[in-house]
Amino acid sequence: MTFRAVLQLDGATATGIVVPPEVVEALGGGGRIPVRATVAGVEYPSTIAMRAGQAKLPVSADIRTRAGIAAGDDVEVDLVRDDQPRTVEVPEDLAA
């Protein structure tokens, strides 16, 4: 699902995007929806979560820097539901 949205400041430094209800519904609904997000051309794994009655997609400082965007910018967003297990590979020197 592709749509345009304004990157909103949420607190002192956090930013996020309000996901329209029709997009949430198309992604299967629910309180937490795992997605592959592409914001302003930068792809990353994330989760849509309900906050203050709105579905929101967080956009970290790293993603903002890589995409060259800031709070208040109008951005293109593409979301694909991602039900694949999320795993983290532990480096050998840290594995016990």
2-81: CATH number = 2.40.30.100
Provide the whole-model pTM.
0.86
In terms of Cβ atoms closer than 10 Å to its own Cβ (0-12, 13-18, 19+), residue 33 is buried
Judge whether 39 and 48 are in contact, CB under 8 Å: no
Condensed to tens digits (0 to 9), the pLDDT of residues 5-54 reads 999 998 888 999 999 999 999 999 988 999 999 999 999 999 999 988 99
pLDDT at position 96, please?
66
Q: CB 79: neighbour CB atoms within 10 A?
A: 23
